[in-house]
Amino acid sequence: MFLLGIPLVNGTVVLFVPSLMATVGGRDGWMAPLLAPLSIVMLVALLGPLIRRWPDQSFIQVAQSTLGRWVGGLLGAVFSVWAFHTNAIILRQFGDFIKGTVLIRTPILIVQLLILLAVIWVARAGLEVLARCAAVLVPIDALFLMTIVVLGIRESRFQNLLPVLEHGITPVLRAALIPSAWVSELVCLAFLWPRLNQPRQGPAVLVSASIWTSLNLAVGSLIGIATFGPTVAKVTFSLFAVARVVSIAEFLERIEPLLMIVWVSDNFIKISVFHYVATESLRQSLGLRERKPLVIPGAALMLVLAAASLDSTVEMADWLMHVWPLYSPLVTFGIPIIALCAGLWRMASRGSRA
Amino acid sequence: MVMNKDLHTLSMANEPWNGEPLDTVLQANLTRLREVFDACPDLIIREFLLPDGRRGGVLYVNGLIDVDRLDRDLLHPLVAAPPRPPQWEHGMPAPGLPLPGGQLLGRMGEVVQKILDGVVVLLLDGETAAQAFGIPGGKARNITEPVTERSLRGPKEGFVEDLQTNLSLLRRIIKTPRLKVEEGLAGRLTRTNIALVYIQGLVRPGVLDEVRSRLGRIQIDGVLDSGYLEEFIEDHPYSLFPQILDTQRPDVVAAHLLEGRFAILCAGSPNALLAPIQLWSFLQSVEDYYERYLISSLLRILRFSFAAVSVLLPALYVSVIAFHHELIPTALVMTVARAREGVPFPAVVEALLMEVAFEALREAGIRLPASIGPTVSIVGALIIGEAAVRAGIVSAPAVIIVSTTGIASFVIPRIGAVNAVRMLRFLMLLFAGAFGLYGITIMSLFVLIHLASMRSFGAPYLSPWTTLRLWEWLDLFIRAPRWIERRRITVAAAGGPLRQGPHLKPGRASDRDGNKQD
Amino acid sequence: MALGRRRNWAVALVLTLVTLTGGCWDRLEINDVALIQTAAIDWLPGDRVRLGLEIAVPTAFPGGGVTGGPGRKPSFVVVAEAATLGEALNDLQQTIPRRLFWGHNQAVIVGEAAARSGISPHLSFFDRHREPRPRTLLCITPGEALPLLQTRLVLEPTVGQKLRELAPFSMVADAQFYRFDTRLNDEGIDPVAIRVEARKTLRPGGDDTEEAVEMTGLAAFQKDRLVGWLDRQETDGALWLTGQHRSVLKMIPLALPEAGTGRPARASVEVFRSQTSLKPSMESGRLVVTARISVEAQLMETMGPVDLTRPQVVRQLEYSLAKTIAESAWRALGRARAMQTDVFGLGQSVHRSLPGVWQRLKPRWREVLPTVPVRLELDVKIRRTGKANKPLEFPESEFRQMQDGKG
């Protein structure tokens, strides 16, 4: 479960976000992710009681049982739409990256279709299989990332990080909004709580996963800034650029495929989790019995959304920087909180009646 | 269930004589048996006269029994014995014979069955039952080291075709009554004896029920090798990956039994089946456990890496040559480009051609007599390969890649895994040919999903990696020193958590006893 | 249900097969690629760009094999003129049957005119395009770049490879594209590039000369504009000041005369480690930058009766080495000051250590730069003396005589 959470955020973040953060936070951008887990801690603190009260129900089910089928279902549907939409964005980013760096002339649709095939397969095989895949992939990915970082250290100059906090803490805080929006995607894991072996460990898992990803992100952007200095804000995929720079003895160089593998596998898990969450929340809010029939139409919907939502990488970056940090937390925090409040209110009223 | 009618009629249970009781008249019985065994000249019927004047007959299949012992221990005592007639109506087998007691047979079907099983059947005039004596004989292969699983260190015994010998080999290793053997039959016409072997208390009970029911479902004319059974009882019939380990080594079977797996032995086959099995077992060699742990661990890492090489190398070659030219170091790119200049095929086609040729060569080499085999490989590999490179039909790097791949696949110790690797290699190659590295990654994901969803008799196929029991990693990519691996591998096994005592690490006696005063 | 399942599989299979067979969009065999080795960019009057490419001919490359052979040139040069690099590239692509590929481009040589007018517009292509590697060398040549591609080579097959192989002996780390960009984007530091020239050299094994590309120093920039050159000695100084000397040989003149001949004695050392830190400080209201250079070296050769068994002799050698280093460092500093360029990153060091001071100085840094005093602190150690302790070529007696004379 912990292992599911890591690629969930890592997937997109390590590649894309450092340069966004550097744009806002300058050379102190690497500190921003260290603050991001705070949002998760907050969320967990809020959700804690919810989990304890209904350990075997997702917050949508809780919302349905407390607010009634329709309102709860509506909330669930909003959450589901958010998950689908986010997933489409992820898919789009993924496609853009692959198309921009590896497969220039292959239609983006094919690129996305291939990974969707894997996603559909695993979605039909179930959550357990997905978790097992994550258990295999995460150590490999960690190893590859570590290789890149360690090799990258040779090329980096940590003086580039100086001066620290030149413009005070404010840019850092503003930059922290970006990764916390991503980290808040971990709320998907909260949705999976009821499926945990020991649901009570959920909060701990969530927090540790968020800390781990934040550290990851911090290290990733640290190395990016140390290598490229302020240029990092101008590089679209900074860790990818670091990987391209690495050269040991003129032979151990050109290691960027490692990063591509990490990126593909992380994204596979990420898209799969989101797909699971999206379809499962849809199932719950519609009150369907089976999830499987939703899998393939959901994937098709995502493919369409991914193609239709944004025109270019420029729009994407703009959207990710300005809209996303508000939109995403609104849903990821808002809905569980509404569910929670409703639950508590119902509990309180029932308590007073009794 | 609608059964195939033809099959059903061929089954012995449906023969008209199956349920017939034996006649008291010897000649009637013999006549009936001659009818049943019509055109079976290997059925021998020897008639004789008892001292009390009754007639008797022994029946057996030529070559399955020890005729000398038959004469000495059965016929001679019967014919020359003092006139105390053999009586066995009351369940007591023939007294006074220097033979282990026989079994009483009342029906024709049983008699036929016993004769075919290689047992001597004794019929006497006036008796309503026959008696069966096991006097096994005939030719059997010696116990030798299995050719396909040689090891430098460790036992040199290998299974043979005889089930009883094989079971005895196992019993010789594991001397506990908890080593249980459940016998059964498979194959309606071959009526092959199979044995399910396990250690009671170590194997999970659910697993046993499952395997019993799977074995029980098998309805087939003949079982000629344990491979027949494997296909009927494996979990994922469409998978490329072997889900049951086969071995000809008793020590391997014993090792897996001790880890809580079960074995299926099959008469007529030196290959024992082992399950539930995990993917990694196919990359672990028995010698890992006999050699010292350091070299074993290194060899294991070597094997894992070469297994990966064997799957991925041609695909990587193609994707680098045809997609990602920037990934080749500059010094190398010129060399490769020069070598490929003038080769008419795209890299994928070239690699596919070479791989197919290699597989053909390998297939040709396996079955040829030892005297021709080397010639074929020399002609194939050296002459044709060299000529093809010289003619510019294929490039030298492709030859290097394909032969490296071939060598790499020989590093894998188990043929089942080798075959999976061979097939995977082609799939990878196809995807690499279409999408380069991305294709390889996606294909690897597909394989991973497939592997992750696989189970072998309830145990996850990728365990212990995916089950996160980290201490079991000590015997995964490496083999940790034996004194560290105290905990029992739980992939398959029940039983207590520990499998050995504490403080087994060699050291000075004083340390070992916890006595710290020097 | 079983049927439906099977149909799903069939659909998946067909889809996969279709994508596999139809999908070779990006397949490009290595032999359908023209490997660019070096690019030369010149700025022509009329705001036009001339792009020259050195393209490798792999079959003519040296090495064992069945094709190719001596006599063929392992590379050829193509040239196009256009308004932008992209357009020039497009024109070139029309004439070459293989796709131009930048992934193995070793160096970009920019002509002086293009560099002086501001190099950024020409670099944009390399920053954006996916193929060029970040470690590509940026070289500037006085005059035009194109002729350099046509120089003759002896050891290396292409100009690009020669430049790459030469690189370890020069200040290359900061002349790689990504470093150049980093310097360009940071405050208080100016980028540098490698200065390359075609020089007549003696051809090995004969007495005729040939033209070959050589690295002859550094090109100093103010932001993206070339403002001047550093010659070899100044480059040497620059390397000391940036702590990038790796395994170089240094000759040190010694004070003692060579026995018998009256010529000054000399020694050479091999520097195997050098490190520099720039420390700005405010001293009585004035900004001072202290450059601390620590060097470790070992003795390579001694010309003259140098007795290395005596520590004070070694100390003397160290002192001489320090003097040599300081001399070239001063020259480099002086040159950079004259050009008002901060290639050593003095401003950057201020920015990092004294952010407050930097905020004040930043707007007029170019004017301040030449007046900022730099203090050199040298810490030179000769660690080892090689395989001999005393010069073997002098008889012991002569030695003693010398030492007595000196003592």
Reported as a single tens digit per residue, the pLDDT across C282-314 is 888 788 888 888 888 887 777 666 666 777 777
Q: What confidence category does residue B169 fall into, taking pLDDT thresholds of 50, 70 and 90?
A: very high
In whole angstroms, give the CA distance from residue B468 to residue B465: 6
C-alpha span between B434 and B441 (Å, rounded):
12
pLDDT grade, residue B149 (50/70/90)? confident
User: Helix, strand or coil for residue B83?
Assistant: coil
Question: In this model, does residue B431 exceed pLDDT 90?
Answer: no
The more confident residue out of A11 and B437 is B437
Contact yes or no for A257/A264 (Cβ under 8 A):
no
List pLDDT tens digits, range A271-286.
888 888 888 888 877 7
| Contact (CB, 8 A) for B264 and B194 | yes
**Backbone dihedral region of B179: left (phi > 0), alpha (psi from -120 to 50 degrees) or beta?**
beta
SS3 content of chain B, % helix, strand, coil (to 5): 45, 15, 40
Distance (Å, whole) CA A217 – CA A233: 15
Assigned token pair, C361: 């100085």
Consecutive H or E run containing C138: strand C137-141
Q: Compute the C-alpha angle C63/C68/C70, nearest 5°.
A: 80
Spatial distance between the Cα atoms of B466 and C183, rounded to a whole number of angstroms? 47
Alpha helices (H) along B3-125? 5-10, 26-36, 67-69, 76-80, 108-116
**Any CB–CB contact under 8 A between A250 and chain B?**
yes
Strand partners, B274: B245, B263
A349 SS3 class: helix
Instruction: Return the pLDDT at A28.
Output: 63
3-state DSSP assignment of residue B350: helix
Percentage of the residues of chain B whose pLDDT score is greater than 90: 13
Please say if the pLDDT value at position B77 is more than 50.
yes
Report helix, strand or coil for B103: strand
Question: What pLDDT is stored for residue A16 in this prediction?
Answer: 53
Mean pLDDT (whole number) for B223-233:
89
The better pLDDT of the pair C209, A336 is held by A336
Nearest to C317 by CA among C375, C216, C386: C386
pLDDT for residue A353 is more than 50: no
Q: In this predicted model, what pLDDT tens digit does every residue of B249-304 receive, in sequence order?
A: 999 999 999 888 999 999 989 999 998 888 888 888 888 888 888 998 999 999 99
- pLDDT of C103 > 90? The answer is no
Six token digits for residue A37: 């887990």
What pLDDT, on the 0 to 100 scale, is given for residue B517? 41
Q: Are C340 and C255 in contact (CB under 8 A)?
A: no
Cis bond before residue A179 (omega within 30° of 0): no
Which whole number is the average pLDDT over B334-362?
85
Q: Which of A127-136, C77-86, C352-361, C389-398 has the lowest mean pLDDT?
A: C389-398
Q: Does residue A267 contact residue A15 with C-beta atoms inside 8 Å?
A: no
The kind and range of the H/E element at A39 are: helix A37-53
Contact C355 A166 (CB under 8 A): yes
Write down the pLDDT at residue A55: 64
The pLDDT mean for chain C works out to 77
Residue type at position A128: E
> Is the pLDDT score of A106 beyond 80?
no
pLDDT in tens, A24-54: 555 566 666 677 667 667 777 766 666 666 6
Q: How far apart are the first and last CA of chain B?
A: 76
Is pLDDT at B486 greater than 60 in this prediction?
yes
Most confident stretch, A169-178, A210-219, B107-116, C25-34:
B107-116
A98·B462 Cβ contact <8 A: no
Q: Do C27 and B348 touch (CB under 8 A)?
A: yes
Report yes or no: A274 and A81 within 8 Å, Cβ to Cβ. no
- Given pLDDT bands bounded at 50, 70 and 90, which one contains residue A298? confident
Would you mind telling me the total number of residues written for chain B in this entry?
Answer: 518
Q: Please give the Cα distance from B266 to B194 (Å, whole number).
A: 4
Ranges B197-211, B365-379, C12-26, C153-167, most confident: B197-211
In this structure, are residues B75 and B48 in contact, taking their beta carbons and an 8 Å threshold? yes
- Residue B173's pLDDT is 92
Tell which of C20, C29, C99 to mutate to test the B interface (max B CBs under 10 Å): C29
Q: How confident is the model at residue A57 (pLDDT cuts 50, 70, 90)?
A: low
Q: What is the pLDDT of residue C404?
A: 46
Q: Which residue has the higher pLDDT, A324 or C224?
A: C224
Q: Which residue of chain C is at minimal alpha-carbon distance from B427?
A: C20
pLDDT for position B91: 44
Q: Which strand (E) or helix (H) includes residue C256?
A: strand C248-257
Answer whether residue A299 shows pLDDT above 50.
yes
**With contact defined as beta carbons under 8 Å apart, do A148 and A242 qualify?**
yes
Instruction: Name every residue whose Cβ is closer than 8 Å to that of residue A275 and which is 6 or more positions away in sequence.
Output: A87, A119, A123, A295, A298, A299, A302
Rounded distance, CA B322 to CA B319, Å? 5
Partners of B43 in the β-ladder = B61
Dist CA B365 CA B371 (whole Å): 11
- Of residues C4 and A163, the one with the higher pLDDT is A163
Looking at chain B, the whole-number percentage of residues with pLDDT higher than 70 is 86
> Which has more confidence, B231 or A305?
B231
Choose the weakest-confidence range: A68-82, A199-213, B98-112, B290-304: A199-213
For tokens 């991914």, the residue is A306
Quote the CA–CA distance of C369 and C372 in Å, as a whole number. 5
DSSP conformation letters of C337-356: HHHT--TT-HHHHHHHH-HH
Pairs of CB atoms within 8 A across A/C: 62
Separation CA A350–CA C236 (nearest Å)? 84
Least confident of A248-257, C64-73, C306-315: C64-73
- CA B269, CA B134: separation in Å to the nearest integer? 21
Contact between A264 and B441 using a beta-carbon 8 Å cutoff: yes
Q: B16 vs A210, B8, B109, B220, CA distance in Å?
A: 75, 13, 9, 21
Contact by Cβ (8 Å): B306, B408? yes
Q: Test A261 with B466 for CB contact under 8 angstroms.
A: no
CA B56 to chain centre: 43
Dist. CA A60–CA A286, nearest whole Å: 11
Q: What is the pLDDT of residue C168?
A: 62
pLDDT value, residue B512 = 47
Q: Minimal Cα distance from A255: which residue of C? A: C133
Q: Given CA atoms C305, C310, C316, C320 in this order, what sign does their dihedral have?
A: positive
A128 CB-near residues (< 8 Å, 6+ apart): none
Reported in sequence order, the residue ranges of C20-106 that DSSP labels E, i.e. its strands, are: 33-44, 48-56, 75-82, 99-101
What is the token pair recorded at B407? 């060598």
C chain contacts of residue A158, beta-carbon cutoff 8 Å: none
For residue B518, the model assigns a pLDDT of 39
Closest Cα to residue B310, out of B413, B167, B224, B219?
B413
List all residues of chain C from 89 to 128 with a beta carbon under 8 Å from chain B: 101, 103-104, 106
Q: Which of A122-126, B24-28, B305-309, C255-259 has the lowest mean pLDDT?
A: C255-259
Task: Answer yes or no: is pLDDT of C407 > 50.
Answer: no
Residues of C in Cβ contact (< 8 Å) with A102: 26
Which residues have a Cβ under 8 Å from the Cβ of C157 and sit 6 or more positions away? B334, C56, C60, C61, C62, C74, C75
> Which of B236, B317, B334, B446 is the best residue to mutate to test the C interface, defined by the most C CB atoms within 10 Å of its own CB?
B334
- DSSP 8-state code for residue B2: P
Exposure string of C255-282, with b = 16+ CB inside 10 Å and e = fewer, is eeebbeeeeebbbebbbeebebebebee
Most confident of A263-267, B65-69, C301-305: B65-69
pLDDT band at C214 (very low <50, low <70, confident <90, very high): confident
- Percent helix, strand, coil in chain A, to 5, is 85, 0, 15
Distance CA B252, CA A70 (A): 62
Per-residue pLDDT at A301 exceeds 50: yes
C164 at B interface, C-beta within 8 A: yes
Is B335 within 8 Å of chain C by CB?
A: yes
Instruction: For residue B373, name the pLDDT band (cuts at 50, 70, 90).
Output: confident
List the single residue in B337, B433, B435 with the smallest CB-CB distance to C30. Answer: B337
Round to whole Å and give the CA distance between B405 and B403. Answer: 5
Give the side-chain half-sphere CA count within 13 A for A89: 20
Reported confidence tier of residue C403, pLDDT bands at 50, 70, 90? very low
Is 50 exceeded by the pLDDT of residue B5?
A: no
Identify whether the C-beta of residue B451 lies closer than 8 Å to the C-beta of residue B341.
no
Strand order in the sheet with B179-186: B179-186, B192-199, B262-266, B272-275, B245-247
Distance CA A190, CA A336 (A): 9
Give the mean pLDDT of chain B: 82
The answer to whether the Cβ–Cβ distance between B452 and A129 falls below 8 Å is yes
What is each CA distance from A336 to A79, A158, A191, in whole angstroms?
A: 9, 41, 9
Would you give the DSSP letter of residue C169? G
Nearest to C20 among B336, B338, B431 (CB): B431
Worst-scoring range by mean pLDDT, B336-350, B468-482, C245-259? C245-259
B430·C65 Cβ contact <8 A = no
Check residue C197 and report its DSSP letter. Answer: E
pLDDT above 90: residue B167: yes
B345 pairs with which residues across the strands?
A: none
- How many other C-beta atoms lie within 10 A of the C-beta of residue A351? 9
d(CA C364, CA A72): 63
Is the per-residue pLDDT at B89 higher than 70? no
Q: Is the dihedral of CA C354, C360, C365, C367 positive or negative?
A: negative
Residue B263, beta-bridge partner list: B197, B274
- Asked if residue C229 lies in contact with residue C143, where contact means CB atoms within 8 angstroms, the answer is no
Query: Do C97 and A204 touch, CB atoms closer than 8 A?
Result: no
Which of the 8 DSSP states describes residue B291? S
- Give how far C338 is from chain B: nearest CA, Å: 40
Which H or E run contains A134?
helix A127-153
The reply to whether residue B434 touches residue C103, judged by beta carbons under 8 angstroms, is no
